């Protein structure tokens, strides 16, 4: 579980090396946040590297726990998804 302040805007990066074998690369990345409500964590500045994805996460309601998902499509057509659990606190 990651902790973040609601006023912080931080870069979160996922390493996909285990999924990307034998020259396979990431071709698409979609981020999601659950639960989605007014003031929920926002996702911006998404980026894709050969073996990683990243996104800036901002906002959120203090005391709430969010599941931030990242679904990627690989160059061989496979799809994978990973999640981060982020709790927003006043820090």
pLDDT tens across 36-45, in order?
Answer: 999 999 999 9
Structural domain of 7? 2-88
pLDDT of residue 91: 83
Q: Looking at residue 31, which CATH number applies to its domain?
A: 2.60.40
From CA 25, how far away is CA 51, in angstroms rounded?
6
Q: What is residue 23's predicted lDDT score, i.e. its pLDDT?
A: 85
> Do residues 18 and 28 make contact, with C-beta atoms less than 8 angstroms apart?
no
What total of structural domains would you count in the chain? Answer: 1
pLDDT at site 50: 80
What average pLDDT is seen over the chain? 95
Distance CA 5, CA 26 (A): 30
pTM of the model: 0.91
């Amino acid at each position: 579980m990651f902790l973040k302040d609601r006023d912080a805007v931080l870069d979160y990066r996922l390493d996909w090396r285990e999924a990307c074998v034998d020259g396979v690369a990431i071709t698409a990345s979609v981020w999601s946040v659950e639960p989605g409500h007014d003031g929920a964590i926002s996702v911006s500045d998404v980026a894709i590297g050969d073996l990683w994805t990243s996104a800036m996460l901002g906002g959120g309601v203090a005391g709430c726990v969010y599941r931030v998902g990242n679904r990627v499509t690989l160059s061989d057509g496979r799809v994978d998804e990973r999640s981060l659990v982020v709790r927003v606190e006043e820090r």
